[in-house]
A and B are shown apart, each in its own frame.
Chain A
Amino acid sequence: NAGVTQTPKFQVLKTGQSMTLQCAQDMNHNSMYWYRQDPGMGLRLIYYSASEGTTDKGEVPNGYNVSRLNKREFSLRLESAAPSQTSVYFCASSADRGQYFGPGTRLTVL
């Protein structure tokens, strides 16, 4: 099992550009999550999906949209990137015990 995979690993955008971060899990988990982590801080929840077909806002959803494409895949879209969105983005999935995290995408917005 690959667990949780994320693409790309690194990305540099200019202000106003758009992009989609991809996440996939092969553990048959119902719930999936997107977090961002700024330097020296804990993770903040952007959006989550409790099950296929449902999505809900987390702590910091402004500037982002998500799509739960199927049970395996949960994508995060930045429609018009801003420098404040420079961060490391983590995707996670969960079953009964704990969340499993991907390796992260390091995004820089210039």
Chain B
Amino acid sequence: LAKTTQPISMDSYEGQEVNITCSHNNIATNDYITWYQQFPSQGPRFIIQGYKTKVTNEVASLFIPADRKSSTLSLPRVSLSDTAVYYCLVGETGGYNKLIFGAGTRLAVHP
């Protein structure tokens, strides 16, 4: 399982775009990159998943360069409710995916 490295914490202000970068130098050919969001006292929630290039959904975008050794989660126009811990995970998918959670990035959005 590929190890990931991401910043421990970030600060932002309401309305700004936030980019959280994750490095995964040992990513394998079959690995996907998945991001989760966790609020206090709740379980993690799936945000977005991708394999290469760019993926966009209603809440975020995920940018993956050609070498796939890093990825960037982009949150457009954050609000106070986006204050949470964000986890970057790398692993195989397709019905069974044993994932290793790191400490995540603690994002604080300020008024």
Contact = CB atoms under 8 A, between A and B. Distances in A.
Interface string B73-111: 000000000000001000001111111111110000000
Interface residues of B, number: 22
Contacts of B87: 42
A74 interface: no
Interface stretch (A12-20, A61-69, A91-99): A91-99
B94 A103 contact: no
A30 B98 contact: no
Given A101-B43, A101-B45, A103-B42, A94 B101 contact: no
Interface of A: 4, 30-31, 33, 35, 40-45, 48, 50-51, 58-59, 90, 92, 94-104
Interface of B: 34, 36, 41-46, 49, 87, 93-104
